[in-house]
Chains A and B, each alone.
Chain A
Amino acid sequence: MTPAPQENDTSTVVAFTDVKIGFDEGDVLRGVSFEVMPRETLVLLGETGTGKTLTLKLAAGLLRPTQGKIEVLGQEVSSMSEAELLPYRRKLGFVFQEGALFDSLTVAENVAYPLREDRLSEDEIEKRVQEALGFVELEQTGDMLPSELSGGMRRRVSIARILATRPPMVLYDSPTAGLDPVTAQTIITLILQLRDVFGVTAIMATQRLQDGFGLANFRFDPESKRVVRLEEKEGTPGQNGEPATRFLVYREGRIYFEGAPEELAESKDAYLQRFLASI
């Protein structure tokens, strides 16, 4: 796994500048600008169809903006050709909403897929697959097909698949959508582990507010291997290597709110209150 960024590393990992994208039906994103710092988790909230998934796909270079500039990991994604984007994307992890596992491959083959693309040795692949499946506690499912797994297990395998490549940056597209609360908590715990053990920077689109606050208020303690509440004495989020969580709320293709979790929670804005009550 790529080591966690140094404490004094202040260069932005992601920078969107006045990004627009639209389709036949009209513009979906109408001039979006934001930054994500190292080890930070940006939680994207918004009603359905406001462009959360599009933002993630733009960051991964899967879509091209009609206007604006997107920089990720020091590369200007918005101006790269498809041939240049392929090696760039291997440095990212993308967890799709339903897992997007290859249904004709076994679980182990799914996790091994990006490693085979990187032409690693079979011994190394075997080792990393076991490690990644062990991390999500699914070692015993290696020979099973994705169709034999539950929804939550498929998401865990998709996290193992990105973990195997050890990316410094992960994009989560509604990782807990459609899951029961207990399984959703398991997924959030894995995301906390990726952040706090491996120092992953992340953007997470979600419809569940508690996912965002889960990331903001808790951390995974590698020593006790437990999720613990972030204490104030541990430092200000984002400083001294502490994980930081920031919220971004989309409304009609624009950023309606950007700020810390407590600012969102204490906001008196009528739309935000109504929106937050609805999710």
Chain B
Amino acid sequence: MGEVLTDAFKQLLANIQDYSVMSGRALLNLASGPRYFQDILDQMDDIGVGSLPIVLMAGFFIGAVMVLQTGTQFVRFGQTALTGDVVSIALVRELGPTLTGILVAGRSASGIASVLGSMVVTEQVDAMRAMGTDPSRKLVTPRVLAGILMLPLLTALNDFIGLLGGCVASVFSLRLNAVEFWTRAINALDFADIMQGMMKPLVYGFILATVGCYKGLTVRGGTQGVGRATTQAVVVASVMIIGADLFLTKLALYLGDKIF
């Protein structure tokens, strides 16, 4: 029993080491050539544009739901005007980045893992290496860079659409004035909130892309292995994003106090 646990722990440490080396190399590759610009653009299109519909739809609904939930509480105190403030801060600081991270992890981390996993089992990754291409530069770096660049943009759009959803719900459900909602929502935000909201997705983009790549490139066991890797990529990336959120929030609040 003890031996089994020791082996499992060693395996976990080895996996963390391999993941860290792969992720570090993906970033270091940016410092030197060859760079694959077309692959970077393709991945930005896939992760960014491809995720837009789900991010926008989910953002709209979550903003509207937040207004309904908070609004019913504010009605009791006759303070429904504060709804814009609450929805705005919650969306920009927390829900926007984290929801976007988890949604894109569900879509893109799984996609990355399944594509790279399939390439591994059909020897396409070996073929790439045999032709003198570094898979880290060709496959990993473009995806990681695309994740880091696209997540903040998707988050910004998610925040905006979320506020739009909140506004619609406020007008139709709470009978608030749309202009008042937007004014309060914008005035409630300060620079530290925006910083917090835009810093988190940079890390989330990195996490979902690196986890997807790692799970894909370490596939074992044929097509069944690809299926397992795809599922694991989503689960691990989502949990890591929520875990990272805790630390990033603490860090952002600390920096917000000290700097902004």
Contacts and interface: CB of A to CB of B under 8 A. Distances in A.
Interface of A: 57, 60, 62, 82, 86-90, 92, 94, 96-98, 100-103, 113-114, 117, 165
B130 A117 contact: no
Given A96-B126, A103-B122, 19 more contacts: A57-B126, A62-B126, A62-B130, A86-B133, A86-B134, A88-B132, A89-B131, A89-B132, A92-B130, A98-B122, A100-B122, A100-B123, A100-B124, A100-B126, A100-B127, A101-B127, A102-B124, A103-B124, A117-B132
Contacts of B129: 62, 86, 89
Contact of A114 (B118, B122, B131): B131
A91 to B, nearest CB: 9
Interface in B97-135: 118-119, 122-124, 126-134
B130 A60 contact: yes
Nearest to B123: A100
Nearest to A110: B127
Interface string B24-45: 0000000000100000000000
Contacts of A87: 132
A89 B134 contact: no
B130 A89 contact: yes
Nearest to A60: B130
Contacts of A101: 124, 127
Interface string B220-251: 00000000000000000000000000000000
A101 B124 CA distance: 6
Contacts of B122: 98, 100, 103
26 contacts: A62-B126, A62-B130, A82-B134, A86-B132, A86-B133, A86-B134, A89-B129, A89-B131, A89-B132, A92-B130, A94-B130, A94-B131, A96-B123, A96-B126, A98-B122, A98-B123, A100-B123, A100-B124, A100-B126, A102-B124, A102-B128, A103-B122, A103-B124, A114-B131, A117-B131, A117-B132
Nearest to B118: A103
Contacts of B127: 94, 96, 100-102
A114 B132 contact: yes
Interface string B128-147: 11111110000000000000
Contacts of A117: 34, 131-133
Contacts of A82: 134
A202 to B, nearest CB: 15
Contacts of B126: 57, 62, 96, 100
A260 B127 CA distance: 31
Interface in B184-224: none
B132 A90 contact: yes
Contacts of A102: 119, 124, 127-128
B132 A113 contact: no
B47 to A, nearest CB: 16
A97 B127 CA distance: 11
A56 B184 CA distance: 68
A97 B122 CA distance: 9
A57 B126 CA distance: 9
Contacts of B134: 82, 86
A118 to B, nearest CB: 8
A97 B130 contact: no
Contacts of B131: 89-90, 94, 113-114, 117, 165
A83 B154 CA distance: 36
Contacts of A89: 129-132
Contacts of A98: 122-123
The residue among B119, B122, B131 with the most chain A CB atoms within 10 A of its own CB is: B131
Contact of A97 (B118, B119, B123, B128): B123
A97 B126 CA distance: 12
A153 to B, nearest CB: 16
Contacts of A165: 131
A92 B130 CA distance: 8
A44 B152 CA distance: 54
